[in-house]
Chains A and B, each alone.
Chain A
Amino acid sequence: MNDKAACGLFDSGHRACGGCGAAMAARLMLDAAGKDTIIVSSTGCMEVFSTPYPETAWKVPWIHSLFENNSAVASGIVAALAKQGRKERVVAIGGDGATFDIGILCLSGAFERGHDFTYICYDNEAYMNTGIQRSGATPYDASTTTSPAGSCSFGNKRPKKDLPLILAAHGAPYVATASIAYPPDFKKKVEKAINTPGPCYIQVHAPCCTGWGFEGEKTIAIGKLAIETGLWVNYEMENGVVTKVKKVVRKPVEDYLVEQKRFRHLFKPKKNETEIAKIQALADRNAEKFGIDIKLKK
Chain B
Amino acid sequence: MLQITEGSLAVADAVGKCRPQVIAAYPITPQTHIVEALAEMVANCTIDAEYITVESEFSALSACLGASAAGSRVYSATTSQGLALMFEVCFNCAGMRLPVVMTIANRAMGAPLSIWNDQQDSISLRDSGWLQFYAEDNQEATDLHYLAYRVSEDHNILLPSFVCFDGFILSHTYEPVDILSQEEADRYLPRFRPFQRLDADDPISFGLFAAPDYYMEFRYEIDQAAKKALSVFPKAGREFAELFGRDYSGLVESYRMEDADCALVAMGSLCGTVKDAIDDLRDAGRKVGLLKIRTFRPFPAEEVKKALSGVSRVAVLDKNISLGSKGAVALEVKDALYGSQIPVHDYIIGLGGRDVQKKDIARVVTLAEEGRGDLYYGLREEVLK
Contact = CB atoms under 8 A, between A and B. Distances in A.
Do A and B touch (CB < 8 Å)? yes
Interface of A: 35-38, 40, 47-48, 51-56, 58-66, 68-69, 72-77, 79-84, 88, 105-106, 108-109, 112-113
Contacts, number: 158
Given A61-B200, A69-B89, A109-B55, A56 B205 contact: yes
Contacts of B214: 53-54
Interface centre among A64, A69, A106, by most chain B C-beta atoms within 10 angstroms, is A69
Given A73-B62, A80-B66, A88-B198, 6 more contacts: A64-B209, A69-B58, A75-B59, A75-B66, A77-B198, A109-B56
A38 B200 contact: yes
Interface of B: 21-22, 24, 48-50, 52-56, 58-60, 62-72, 74, 88-89, 92, 96, 198-200, 203-211, 214
B72 A51 contact: no
A65 B65 contact: yes
B66 A52 contact: no
30 contacts: A38-B198, A56-B205, A58-B205, A59-B203, A61-B204, A62-B205, A65-B62, A66-B88, A69-B58, A72-B54, A72-B62, A72-B63, A74-B66, A75-B63, A76-B52, A76-B62, A76-B63, A76-B64, A76-B67, A76-B68, A77-B198, A79-B24, A79-B52, A80-B72, A81-B70, A106-B58, A108-B55, A109-B54, A109-B55, A109-B56
Given A35-B200, A58-B203, A80-B67, A105 B208 contact: no
B207 A64 contact: yes
A63 B55 contact: no
Nearest to B211: A52
A63 B58 contact: no
A74 B65 CA distance: 9
Nearest to B49: A83
A37 B200 contact: yes
A51 B52 contact: no
Contacts of B53: 113
Contacts of B72: 79-80, 83-84
Contact of B210 (A53, A65, A72): A53
Contacts of B199: 61, 88
B317 to A, nearest CB: 36
Nearest to B206: A63
Contacts of B211: 52-53
